[in-house]
Structure 1
Amino acid sequence: MSLLKIGVIPGDGVGPEVTEVGLAVLEKVAKRDGLAYELIPFDIGGERYIKTGDVLPQSEQDRLRACDVILLGAVGHPGVAPGVLEKGILLKLRFDFHQYINLRPVRLFPGAPCPITGKGPDDIDMVVVRENNEDLYVGAGGFTYKGTSEEVAIQTSMNTRAGVERCIRYAFEAARKRAERGDFGSLSAADKAKGYKRQVTLVAKTNVLTFAHDLWMRAFNEVAAEYPDVKPAYMHVDACCMRMVTNPEWFDVIVTTNMFGDIITDLGAVLQGGMGLAASGNLNPDKTAPSMFEPVHGSAPDIAGKGIANPLAAILSVAMMLDHVGRSESGDSVRKAVAAVLAAGSPRTPDLGGKSSTAEVGKAALAALD
């Protein structure tokens, strides 16, 4: 493979702290596995915006486009109004770079805390495929009589056949890839006897959102017919949230809309031990522009600078990045290192009930790679 160009946006709050640890893990794995890469740093985030008024200059976006992948620490600054950075950086990159899949693994590692009594690692191993370029996030809408007693606010959900179908198809392909591991997950004996290897569940609200989610349902049924080895299922979003808590083992691959995916993946993060263990990928599967990988815990300004942020989600995001560039074996070794740290019980950052620092957990992960 030629030199891998990695754009690095440490961002705000704890972002630089966890990114530093993630890059240390990447350096060790790359040296061991023969991966040649170049880090291209970017000063993008709240501090830059406060100083210059620039959120994401076109020149910086052009430089990012020239990268193969992007590693992001966090976006969000208490001195910047909500939405400025999120829309101006996260959503702009997701949309302009056609990162139309948001991939969120929900996996409980042995040793990680789970709030559900009686559930363990064998019960919580799913992946959420969230549509990432449409729905309410396109920003279609506006105000009438803003600031008056007659004010009207409209936010329009936009769903295209092409956008919906490519997301659903990605989910079915993801199910097949999971089947290749030989893990049949939570499928019943009867389902296995029918020839199913995995399951894809569409999560929507077809009984109320009878236009947008009718499109999702029809596209889902048509794509499902092309994958006779994968069991199709449907669940209303409210029922899905309940089932994730009572019977998480029921899920394998979930495919859903941008808004619903945003909500249920945070619930999934809690099931797997908290936001400090939740990694994500904003994927351009066609690789016409870089994909972006980030921990989902945000900038956490309340603990920024204290050196106690959990770096494991950033490390797991590096593993997802390695998967994306065709280095899945390297990615697996990173996940095994994280699993080893959690199974050992220490060191742990405060969010996992410990007293260790970011650096101490990072050092343990590096040692586990050996």
Structure 2
Amino acid sequence: MKHVSIAAIPGDGVGKEVVPEAIRVLKAISDVHGGLSFTFQDFPWSCEYYLEHGEMMPKDGLEQLKAFDSIFLGAVGDANLVPDHVSLWGLLIKIRREFEQVINVRPAKQLSGIRSPLAQPKDFDLLVVRENGEGEYSEIGGRIYQGEDQLAIQNAVFSRKGTERAMRFAFQLAEKRRKHVTSATKSNGIVHTMPFWDEVFQDVAKDYPEVTADSQHIDALSAFFVTRPEKFDVIVASNLFGDILTDLGAAIMGSIGVAPAANINVNGKYPSMFEPVHGSAPDIAGKGIANPIGQIWTAKLMLDHFGEEELGTHLLEIIESVTADGFLTADIGGAYQTQEITNEIITRLKK
């Protein structure tokens, strides 16, 4: 039997509601599939924890997390309690950076039964591979002077190693899918990092002759996400471009509440982390109406990561059968409660 230990960090807001629901689904999968078992340990790290302890996680927090096979995160942030840059850099980004989770994967798929805001959506099914460790989100820079002379400098950092690693990951995913990789670039406006990005992409593409490769400027690519998303298979993008594209991907699906994400450690030294794209949504927290699908689809990505791709595919098929039959939360036009959606998914899993 394969055993997977999971550190669960519900975090803030609706994270405390959707993480337990996804754990219920994983336990149901374990009940049905005798060859796979999970253990879970909850960690209360959140903005409320910060108010009590002055930090988002204890100083040995990463050491505690190292012992687990995977990290299952709900949401981080509540600007009413703690500034966002404090909460994110103290927990989410800290884990990503120090656990070398250098790849972020986010799918966008037209799910049956969920109405897309697109006028005439076709059957799109794409993956965005985002470089997750450097790029525009580097910590290099600073501020000098005061008043009207004040100056802020933010340096983008693109290494050959990090750029190539993300691109190879994208090509390897495309080999299992429809064999097409699109690179998000802006080399007609950003004169150093983006031409470098393009050169690395062209070099990497040569090693995957069966995969079609093309590049699109990020502004045009964003427009194509809206006008013809069905044309894309795998998109590889820098940290900033990937971040923006994936929120747009969630929007064309119909709600950020259904969008999942995976932060992948590729060298096996540390656990990977799985989280939905949505935030803590304090406006609906505690009302029992949060959409659990983003977190449950995130569990599907975790199953894939552990080599249980058949189970992951089955889970996504069940999610889609549930939405197709009208089991929807308010964010996607329905009236079902969080737990009711989970109950239906579990019922169908056990059948």
Same fold (TM over 0.5): yes
Give the Cα–Cα distance (whole angstroms) in 1 for the partners of residues 251 and 263 of structure 2: 20
Residue of structure 1 equivalent to 2:177: 178
Identity %: 42
Deviation at 1:83, TM superposition (A): 0.7
Residue of structure 1 equivalent to 2:4: 4
1:313-366 per-residue CA deviation (whole Å, 9 max, x = no partner) reads 1000001101111111111121111101111012x2110111211111111111
1:296-329 per-residue CA deviation (whole Å, 9 max, x = no partner) reads 1110000000110000110000011011111111
Spell out the pairing of 1:67-216 with structure 2 (5 A cutoff): 67-77=68-78, 78-120=80-122, 122=123, 124-146=124-146, 148-179=147-178, 198-216=179-197
Residue of structure 1 equivalent to 2:347: 367
Residue of structure 2 equivalent to 1:358: 338
Residue of structure 2 equivalent to 1:195: none
Deviation at 1:57, TM superposition (A): 2.2
Instruction: Verify: 1:231 aligned to 2:231, yes or no.
Output: no
Residue of structure 2 equivalent to 1:292: 273
Give the Cα–Cα distance (whole angstroms) in 1 for the partners of residues 316 and 3 of structure 2: 23
Instruction: Verify: 1:345 aligned to 2:345, yes or no.
Output: no
Amino acid corresponding to residue 220 of structure 2 in structure 1: A
1:131-190 per-residue CA deviation (whole Å, 9 max, x = no partner) reads 0000121211111125x22111111101100000000000000100114xxxxxxxxxxx
SS of residue matched to 2:208: coil
Residue of structure 2 equivalent to 1:245: 226
Residue of structure 2 equivalent to 1:62: 63
Moved over 3 A (4+): none
Give the Cα–Cα distance (whole angstroms) in 2 for the partners of residues 2 and 271 of structure 1: 37
Do the aligned partners of 1:340 and 1:368 also contact (CA within 8 Å) in 2? no
Give the Cα–Cα distance (whole angstroms) in 1 for the partners of residues 84 and 18 of structure 2: 22
Q: Please, which runs of 5 or more residues in structure 1 have no aligned partner?
A: 180-197
Instruction: Verify: 1:257 aligned to 2:235, yes or no.
Output: no
Do the aligned partners of 1:176 and 1:230 also contact (CA within 8 Å) in 2? yes
Give the Cα–Cα distance (whole angstroms) in 1 for the partners of residues 54 and 234 of structure 2: 41
Do the aligned partners of 1:350 and 1:356 also contact (CA within 8 Å) in 2? yes
Do the aligned partners of 1:99 and 1:285 also contact (CA within 8 Å) in 2? yes
Do the aligned partners of 2:257 and 2:331 also contact (CA within 8 Å) in 1? yes
Do the aligned partners of 1:280 and 1:294 also contact (CA within 8 Å) in 2? yes
Deviation at 1:58, TM superposition (A): 2.7
Deviation at 1:368, TM superposition (A): 2.1
Q: Please, which runs of 5 or more residues in structure 2 have no aligned partner?
A: none
Give the Cα–Cα distance (whole angstroms) in 2 for the partners of residues 280 and 2 of structure 1: 23
Amino acid corresponding to residue 313 of structure 1 in structure 2: G
Give the Cα–Cα distance (whole angstroms) in 2 for the partners of residues 91 and 139 of structure 1: 11
Residue of structure 2 equivalent to 1:46: 47
Amino acid corresponding to residue 77 of structure 2 in structure 1: G
SS of residue matched to 2:104: strand
Give the Cα–Cα distance (whole angstroms) in 2 for the partners of residues 345 and 40 of structure 1: 33
Amino acid corresponding to residue 215 of structure 1 in structure 2: F
Residue of structure 2 equivalent to 1:21: 21
Deviation at 1:64, TM superposition (A): 0.6
Give the Cα–Cα distance (whole angstroms) in 2 for the partners of residues 201 and 133 of structure 1: 20
Give the Cα–Cα distance (whole angstroms) in 2 for the partners of residues 210 and 220 of structure 1: 16
| RMSD (CA atoms) | 1.1
Give the Cα–Cα distance (whole angstroms) in 2 for the partners of residues 90 and 233 of structure 1: 32
1:104-147 per-residue CA deviation (whole Å, 9 max, x = no partner) reads 01111111111112213x2x11100000000121211111125x
